Amino acid sequence: MTPRIIARQLSWPKGLLGGLIGRLMNWHNASMNAFVVRQLDVKPSDRIIEIGFGGGVILGRLIEGAAFVCGVDRSGDMVRCAGSRFSGAVRTGRADFKEANVEALPFANESFAKACTVNTIYFWRSLEAGFREIHRVLRPGGRLVVGFLPKDRMDRLGYPSDIFTTREPGDVIAALSSAGFTAVSLERPEPATPWNAIVALR
């Protein structure tokens, strides 16, 4: 399987291959996903949005701990899969899944207390536009956690640049600040951890 095929499925999962790669990424990114959830500090009263949920590994943990969870993904296949997998939570009004892009979230202002996204910012058309939309749908004091592999690590994987836009931590922090986020901090469980989780407040 070529890097281009893998990159296309990572950016926009479709069909059986997309589902397979999603499961592989759930396994590969288990530590980052778990750390992002810890940084989110989920409370029983929280309304949470996850952007670009892919294989859905974080969704289950959020649904267990929060009052309501909305997952947004630009892949219709992933949205349908999540709806089937978490159908019980959907029926009881504790979860919903929508096909959408981060630059145009289909929600009213201040709809959520918390938001997270893991390994999606490489595919955003604009960091600033995406973070402005997340800022808009978060309540004042709301928390955002962004998990990603920094540019120097991503560039080693050889994914095509027309699909992946690798990101420097400084660029992500600057875009968050430009969008109006405050108290922006870069967190890692260990100094040698290759990936980053950036936490910011609305």
In this structure, what CATH number is given to the domain that contains residue 134? 3.40.50.150
Residue 54 pLDDT class (50, 70, 90 cuts): confident
pLDDT value, residue 154: 79
pLDDT value, residue 184: 97
Residue-number span of the structural domain to which 154 is assigned: 3-201
pLDDT value, residue 57: 85
pLDDT value, residue 13: 59
Of 92, 182, 189, 195, nearest in space to 152 by CA = 195
25 compared with 30, residue with greater pLDDT: 30
pLDDT value, residue 117: 96
Give the total number of structural domains in the chain: 1
Residue 162 pLDDT class (50, 70, 90 cuts): confident
Per-residue pLDDT tens digits for 149-159: 999 887 887 77
d(CA 183, CA 194): 22
pLDDT value, residue 64: 95
> C-alpha 45: how far from its chain's center?
21
CA distances from 142 to 81, 175, 202 (A): 28, 17, 5
CA distances from 47 to 22, 42, 118 (A): 25, 9, 18
* Mean pLDDT rounded to a whole number for the chain: 88
pLDDT value, residue 151: 93
d(CA 52, CA 134): 12
